[in-house]
Chain A
Amino acid sequence: AQTVTQSQPEMSVQEAETVTLSCTYDTSESDYYLFWYKQPPSRQMILVIRQEAYKQQNATENRFSVNFQKAAKSFSLKISDSQLGDAAMYFCAWYDMRFGAGTRLTVKP
Chain B
Amino acid sequence: NAGVTQTPKFRVLKTGQSMTLLCAQDMNHEYMYWYRQDPGMGLRLIHYSVGEGTTAKGEVPDGYNVSRLKKQNFLLGLESAAPSQTSVYFCASSYKSRSGQTFGDTQYFGPGTRLTVL
Contacts and interface: CB of A to CB of B under 8 A. Distances in A.
Contacts, number: 55
A98 B103 contact: no
Contact of B104 (A6, A44, A95): A95
Contact of A45 (B58, B90, B104, B105): B90
A43 B33 contact: no
Contact of B97 (A33, A37, A43): A33
Nearest to B114: A43
A72 B107 CA distance: 25
Interface in B71-117: 88, 90, 92, 97, 101, 103-109, 111-112
Interface of A: 4, 6, 31-33, 35, 37, 43-47, 50, 91, 93, 95-102
